[in-house]
Structure 1
Amino acid sequence: MFAKRLKELRKKRKLTMQEVADYVGVAKSTYAGYESGYRQPTLESIQTISRKLRTSTDYLLGLSDYPEPPAELNHNAKEYLNYEQLHWDGVPLEKGDLELIRNLLERVLRDRTPPKED
Protein backbone atom coordinates (compact mmCIF):
# COMPACT_ATOMS: atom_id res chain seq x y z
CA MET A 1 0.00 0.00 0.00
CA PHE A 2 2.86 2.40 0.87
CA ALA A 3 4.53 2.10 -2.54
CA LYS A 4 1.24 2.52 -4.42
CA ARG A 5 0.20 5.61 -2.45
CA LEU A 6 3.65 7.11 -2.78
CA LYS A 7 3.58 6.85 -6.57
CA GLU A 8 -0.03 8.04 -6.89
CA LEU A 9 0.54 11.12 -4.75
CA ARG A 10 3.80 12.02 -6.47
CA LYS A 11 2.05 11.96 -9.82
CA LYS A 12 -0.97 13.85 -8.47
CA ARG A 13 1.39 16.58 -7.20
CA LYS A 14 3.10 16.60 -10.63
CA LEU A 15 6.53 15.84 -9.19
CA THR A 16 9.27 13.75 -10.71
CA MET A 17 11.02 10.96 -8.86
CA GLN A 18 14.19 13.05 -9.03
CA GLU A 19 12.49 16.04 -7.35
CA VAL A 20 11.25 13.93 -4.45
CA ALA A 21 14.56 12.06 -4.18
CA ASP A 22 16.49 15.36 -4.05
CA TYR A 23 14.16 16.71 -1.37
CA VAL A 24 14.57 13.55 0.73
CA GLY A 25 18.32 13.47 0.14
CA VAL A 26 18.50 10.05 -1.50
CA ALA A 27 19.46 8.82 -4.96
CA LYS A 28 16.72 8.59 -7.56
CA SER A 29 17.26 4.82 -7.69
CA THR A 30 16.71 4.59 -3.94
CA TYR A 31 13.48 6.57 -4.19
CA ALA A 32 12.38 4.41 -7.16
CA GLY A 33 12.89 1.43 -4.85
CA TYR A 34 10.44 2.98 -2.39
CA GLU A 35 7.80 3.30 -5.12
CA SER A 36 8.34 -0.24 -6.34
CA GLY A 37 8.31 -1.72 -2.85
CA TYR A 38 11.85 -3.04 -3.26
CA ARG A 39 13.22 -0.70 -0.55
CA GLN A 40 11.79 0.63 2.70
CA PRO A 41 12.58 4.21 3.73
CA THR A 42 13.57 5.19 7.25
CA LEU A 43 10.97 6.82 9.47
CA GLU A 44 12.76 10.14 9.01
CA SER A 45 12.55 9.74 5.23
CA ILE A 46 8.84 8.92 5.43
CA GLN A 47 8.28 12.15 7.37
CA THR A 48 10.27 14.14 4.82
CA ILE A 49 8.43 12.52 1.91
CA SER A 50 5.07 13.31 3.51
CA ARG A 51 6.04 17.01 3.74
CA LYS A 52 7.07 17.09 0.06
CA LEU A 53 3.87 15.32 -1.02
CA ARG A 54 1.74 17.48 1.31
CA THR A 55 0.14 14.52 3.04
CA SER A 56 0.30 12.75 6.37
CA THR A 57 2.55 9.86 7.27
CA ASP A 58 -0.62 8.08 8.38
CA TYR A 59 -1.94 8.17 4.81
CA LEU A 60 1.32 6.91 3.33
CA LEU A 61 1.44 4.07 5.85
CA GLY A 62 -2.18 3.06 5.28
CA LEU A 63 -3.42 4.23 8.69
CA SER A 64 -5.72 6.84 7.12
CA ASP A 65 -7.70 6.97 3.89
CA TYR A 66 -7.44 10.76 3.58
CA PRO A 67 -4.51 11.95 1.45
CA GLU A 68 -5.04 15.63 2.15
CA PRO A 69 -3.51 16.85 5.42
CA PRO A 70 -5.94 17.92 8.14
CA ALA A 71 -6.71 21.63 8.26
CA GLU A 72 -5.24 21.96 11.73
CA LEU A 73 -1.68 21.19 10.61
CA ASN A 74 0.81 23.64 11.97
CA HIS A 75 2.21 25.90 9.27
CA ASN A 76 4.56 27.82 11.52
CA ALA A 77 7.24 29.32 9.25
CA LYS A 78 9.73 29.26 12.12
CA GLU A 79 9.50 25.46 12.22
CA TYR A 80 9.87 25.11 8.44
CA LEU A 81 13.01 27.23 8.49
CA ASN A 82 14.62 24.68 10.81
CA TYR A 83 14.47 21.93 8.18
CA GLU A 84 17.88 21.35 6.67
CA GLN A 85 16.62 20.36 3.22
CA LEU A 86 14.67 23.44 2.21
CA HIS A 87 15.06 24.72 -1.31
CA TRP A 88 13.76 27.54 -3.48
CA ASP A 89 12.68 26.18 -6.88
CA GLY A 90 15.18 23.36 -6.58
CA VAL A 91 18.09 25.49 -5.37
CA PRO A 92 19.11 24.26 -1.90
CA LEU A 93 19.06 26.86 0.85
CA GLU A 94 22.18 26.72 2.98
CA LYS A 95 22.31 27.15 6.74
CA GLY A 96 23.45 30.77 6.38
CA ASP A 97 20.59 31.52 3.99
CA LEU A 98 18.06 30.18 6.47
CA GLU A 99 19.59 32.23 9.28
CA LEU A 100 19.24 35.40 7.19
CA ILE A 101 15.61 34.56 6.39
CA ARG A 102 14.84 33.89 10.08
CA ASN A 103 16.44 37.20 11.07
CA LEU A 104 14.48 39.07 8.41
CA LEU A 105 11.17 37.57 9.51
CA GLU A 106 11.92 38.32 13.15
CA ARG A 107 12.66 41.95 12.19
CA VAL A 108 9.38 42.18 10.23
CA LEU A 109 7.44 40.86 13.22
CA ARG A 110 9.22 43.21 15.65
CA ASP A 111 8.31 46.15 13.41
CA ARG A 112 4.65 45.02 13.28
CA THR A 113 4.29 44.48 17.00
CA PRO A 114 3.02 47.57 18.81
CA PRO A 115 5.33 48.85 21.55
CA LYS A 116 4.44 47.88 25.10
CA GLU A 117 2.95 50.62 27.20
CA ASP A 118 4.60 51.27 30.55
Structure 2
Amino acid sequence: MFAKRLKQMRKKRKLTMQEVADSLGVAKSTYAGYESGYRQPTIESIQTISRILRTSADYLLGLTDYPEPPAELNHNAKEYLNVEQLHWDGVPLEKSDLDLIRSLLERMIRDRALANKDDSPSN
Protein backbone atom coordinates (compact mmCIF):
# COMPACT_ATOMS: atom_id res chain seq x y z
CA MET A 1 0.00 0.00 0.00
CA PHE A 2 2.86 2.39 0.85
CA ALA A 3 4.40 2.20 -2.65
CA LYS A 4 1.04 2.73 -4.36
CA ARG A 5 0.07 5.71 -2.22
CA LEU A 6 3.53 7.21 -2.51
CA LYS A 7 3.33 7.22 -6.29
CA GLN A 8 -0.29 8.43 -6.24
CA MET A 9 0.54 11.42 -4.02
CA ARG A 10 3.68 12.32 -6.00
CA LYS A 11 1.63 12.44 -9.19
CA LYS A 12 -1.17 14.35 -7.47
CA ARG A 13 1.38 16.99 -6.43
CA LYS A 14 2.75 17.01 -10.00
CA LEU A 15 6.28 16.16 -8.93
CA THR A 16 8.80 13.98 -10.73
CA MET A 17 10.66 11.16 -9.03
CA GLN A 18 13.83 13.20 -9.43
CA GLU A 19 12.29 16.22 -7.68
CA VAL A 20 11.17 14.15 -4.70
CA ALA A 21 14.50 12.31 -4.57
CA ASP A 22 16.40 15.61 -4.62
CA SER A 23 14.21 17.07 -1.85
CA LEU A 24 14.70 13.89 0.15
CA GLY A 25 18.43 13.83 -0.45
CA VAL A 26 18.56 10.38 -2.02
CA ALA A 27 19.34 9.05 -5.48
CA LYS A 28 16.48 8.79 -7.94
CA SER A 29 17.02 5.01 -8.04
CA THR A 30 16.58 4.84 -4.26
CA TYR A 31 13.34 6.79 -4.42
CA ALA A 32 12.15 4.68 -7.37
CA GLY A 33 12.73 1.64 -5.15
CA TYR A 34 10.33 3.13 -2.60
CA GLU A 35 7.62 3.56 -5.25
CA SER A 36 8.14 0.04 -6.61
CA GLY A 37 8.15 -1.52 -3.15
CA TYR A 38 11.66 -2.87 -3.68
CA ARG A 39 13.10 -0.64 -0.92
CA GLN A 40 11.70 0.52 2.40
CA PRO A 41 12.49 4.06 3.61
CA THR A 42 13.47 4.83 7.18
CA ILE A 43 10.96 6.39 9.54
CA GLU A 44 12.77 9.70 9.19
CA SER A 45 12.51 9.45 5.39
CA ILE A 46 8.79 8.70 5.60
CA GLN A 47 8.31 11.81 7.75
CA THR A 48 10.24 13.92 5.24
CA ILE A 49 8.39 12.41 2.27
CA SER A 50 5.05 13.18 3.90
CA ARG A 51 6.09 16.83 4.29
CA ILE A 52 7.31 17.00 0.69
CA LEU A 53 4.06 15.50 -0.60
CA ARG A 54 1.92 17.51 1.85
CA THR A 55 0.20 14.44 3.23
CA SER A 56 0.44 12.44 6.43
CA ALA A 57 2.71 9.52 7.12
CA ASP A 58 -0.40 7.73 8.38
CA TYR A 59 -1.96 8.03 4.93
CA LEU A 60 1.15 6.77 3.16
CA LEU A 61 1.36 3.82 5.55
CA GLY A 62 -2.31 2.93 5.15
CA LEU A 63 -3.34 3.85 8.69
CA THR A 64 -5.92 6.36 7.44
CA ASP A 65 -7.77 6.86 4.18
CA TYR A 66 -7.56 10.65 4.35
CA PRO A 67 -4.69 11.94 2.18
CA GLU A 68 -5.01 15.56 3.26
CA PRO A 69 -3.64 16.21 6.73
CA PRO A 70 -5.91 18.19 9.03
CA ALA A 71 -5.35 21.93 8.70
CA GLU A 72 -5.25 22.34 12.44
CA LEU A 73 -5.74 19.86 15.24
CA ASN A 74 -8.89 20.52 17.17
CA HIS A 75 -8.64 19.58 20.82
CA ASN A 76 -12.18 20.61 21.75
CA ALA A 77 -13.79 17.33 22.86
CA LYS A 78 -17.28 18.75 22.30
CA GLU A 79 -16.59 19.33 18.62
CA TYR A 80 -14.63 16.09 18.25
CA LEU A 81 -17.52 14.01 19.56
CA ASN A 82 -19.73 15.38 16.77
CA VAL A 83 -17.78 13.29 14.26
CA GLU A 84 -20.01 10.56 12.84
CA GLN A 85 -17.53 7.71 12.61
CA LEU A 86 -15.68 7.44 15.90
CA HIS A 87 -14.46 4.16 17.28
CA TRP A 88 -12.89 2.94 20.50
CA ASP A 89 -9.96 0.67 19.78
CA GLY A 90 -11.56 -0.47 16.53
CA VAL A 91 -15.09 -0.90 17.91
CA PRO A 92 -17.46 1.58 16.19
CA LEU A 93 -19.35 3.90 18.53
CA GLU A 94 -23.06 4.25 17.84
CA LYS A 95 -24.90 7.57 18.00
CA SER A 96 -26.40 6.53 21.34
CA ASP A 97 -22.88 5.85 22.68
CA LEU A 98 -21.72 9.31 21.61
CA ASP A 99 -24.83 10.92 23.12
CA LEU A 100 -24.09 9.20 26.44
CA ILE A 101 -20.42 10.26 26.35
CA ARG A 102 -21.40 13.87 25.61
CA SER A 103 -23.94 13.80 28.45
CA LEU A 104 -21.39 12.41 30.92
CA LEU A 105 -18.78 15.00 29.93
CA GLU A 106 -21.29 17.84 30.20
CA ARG A 107 -22.27 16.62 33.69
CA MET A 108 -18.62 16.37 34.73
CA ILE A 109 -17.93 19.94 33.54
CA ARG A 110 -21.06 21.28 35.30
CA ASP A 111 -20.04 19.52 38.53
CA ARG A 112 -16.52 20.89 38.28
CA ALA A 113 -17.82 24.42 37.68
CA LEU A 114 -20.09 24.14 40.74
CA ALA A 115 -17.24 22.77 42.87
CA ASN A 116 -14.98 25.62 41.79
CA LYS A 117 -17.71 28.13 42.55
CA ASP A 118 -18.20 26.65 46.04
CA ASP A 119 -14.45 26.66 46.70
CA SER A 120 -13.95 30.30 45.74
CA PRO A 121 -13.48 32.73 48.65
CA SER A 122 -16.47 34.92 49.50
CA ASN A 123 -16.17 38.64 49.01
Return the TM-score normalized by structure 2: 0.58
Partner residue, 2:28: 28
The code of the aligned residue for 1:58 comes to D
Partner residue, 1:5: 5
Partner residue, 1:44: 44
Identity of aligned residues (%): 89
Query: How far apart, in 1, do the equivalents of 2:71 and 2:12 lie?
Result: 19
Partner residue, 1:19: 19
Q: Which runs of structure 2 are paired with 1:1-118 in the superposition (5 Å)?
A: 1-72=1-72
Partner residue, 2:117: none
For structure 2, the 5+ residue unaligned runs are: 74-123
Q: Higher Cα Rg: structure 1 or 2?
A: 2
Return the TM-score normalized by structure 1: 0.61
1:71 is displaced (CA, Å) by 1.3
Query: Following TM superposition, where does structure 1 have runs of at least 4 consecutive aligned residues deviating by more than 2 angstroms?
Result: none
What is the aligned-residue RMSD (CA, Å)? 0.8
Query: How far apart, in 2, do the equivalents of 1:47 and 1:56 lie?
Result: 8
Tell me: higher relative CO, structure 1 or 2? Use CA pairs within 8 A at least 6 residues apart: 1
